[in-house]
């Protein structure tokens, strides 16, 4: 079965260092819209 990006991140968030965990939490909170914005925004 294919998992969504949010599911994959959620499954692995406990193994991430603090900085990656913060970025992952931000991504999950606004998924999928935050992943579609440009870097300039």
pTM, full prediction: 0.63
- Kindly list the distances between the CA atom of residue 3 and the CA atoms of 9, 10, 15, 16, 23, in Å, as whole numbers in the listed order: 10, 11, 18, 19, 19
Domain ranges (residues) in the chain: 1-30
Band of the pLDDT at 3, cuts 50, 70, 90? confident
pLDDT surpasses 80 at 2: no
Band of the pLDDT at 31, cuts 50, 70, 90? confident
């Amino acid at each position: 079965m294919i998992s969504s990006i949010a599911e994959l991140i959620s499954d692995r968030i406990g193994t991430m260092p603090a900085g990656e965990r913060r970025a992952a939490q931000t991504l999950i909170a606004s998924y999928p819209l935050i992943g579609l914005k440009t870097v300039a925004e």
